[in-house]
Chains A and B, each alone.
Chain A
Amino acid sequence: GQSLEQPSEVTAVEGAIVQINCTYQTSGFYGLSWYQQHDGGAPTFLSYNALDGLEETGRFSSFLSRSDSYGYLLLQELQMKDSASYFCAVSLPSGSARQLTFGSGTQLTVLP
């Protein structure tokens, strides 16, 4: 089966930089995605890495290394509104389409 591991909780202060790691035990996946979810809210797409390397979108960057079975989400210039859960997800073949398999999520708390 597939499994993705993320830290359950991360705490950082406003203005800081935080890295949320995602390690996985799967192969044959198309890419690694990151989603943000505020309490009780809808998950929102942040980033997608199809290839190894760094993808940058504003204050958020995501990295993938297939050889190391590892990825991370980097959040810079943290703001209070970044307090949320962050999920990594691998995209796997399923039927005639793809299926997202999510990690258990990392709860990020940003302190003033």
Chain B
Amino acid sequence: DSGVTQTPKHLITATGQRVTLRCSPRSGDLSVYWYQQSLDQGLQFLIQYYNGEERAKGNILERFSAQQFPDLHSELNLSSLELGDSALYFCASSVGGGRAYTDTQYFGPGTRLTVL
């Protein structure tokens, strides 16, 4: 158990819908990262927040957005869902978040999203 929690564990929805995935980082970690993992694919970095502020952005679609709240939990919002959005979505956390920080990211158990 990494200490990172994600809810829900599974989510089934229809095309065109909007969903929200939630992540709570490890105690003491200020950074939250979101990743997408499609079937048999590697992890694709989406976005990073550090202490409430966006710090880095990867290949995140415009239909997707995220935020980090004052209590440091984060939410990933996925809208106008398409079949291709079906994937595992992982959240990770780390203590720091700047360029000077040596990476050790701790991953949550993931949310499996199925779009029908």
Cross-chain contact A93 with B99 (CB below 8 angstroms):
yes
Interface size class of A (residues with CB under 8 A): 20 to 34
Cross-chain contact A48 with B42 (CB below 8 angstroms):
no
Q: Is A87 an interface residue (CB 8 A)?
A: yes
Cross-chain contact B42 with A104 (CB below 8 angstroms):
yes
Scan A14-31; emit 1 where CB is below 8 A from any B CB, else 0.
000000000000000011
Contacts of A95 in B (CB 8 A): 48, 54-57
**A91, closest chain B residue (CB):** B103
Q: Least Cβ distance of A40 to chain B in Å?
A: 8
If the complex has contacts A33-B103, A50-B102, A105-B42, are A41 and B55 also in contact, measured as CB distance less than 8 A? Answer: no
Q: Is A44 an interface residue (CB 8 A)?
A: yes
Chain B count of residues within 8 A CB distance of the other chain:
33
Q: Could you tell me which residues of chain B, from 28 to 45, have a CB within 8 Å of some CB in chain A?
A: 31, 33, 41-45
Among B43, B45, B50, B102, the one with the most A-chain Cβ atoms within 10 Å of its Cβ is B43
Among A45, A91, A105, the one with the most B-chain Cβ atoms within 10 Å of its Cβ is A45
Which residues of B are interface residues toward A (Cβ below 8 A)? 2, 4, 31, 33, 41-45, 48, 50, 54-58, 88, 90, 92, 97-99, 101-110, 112
24 residue pairs from A and B, CB less than 8 Å apart: A30-B102, A41-B110, A42-B90, A42-B107, A42-B108, A42-B109, A42-B110, A44-B2, A87-B43, A91-B103, A94-B58, A95-B54, A96-B98, A97-B55, A97-B97, A97-B98, A97-B99, A97-B101, A98-B56, A98-B103, A100-B33, A100-B43, A101-B45, A102-B45
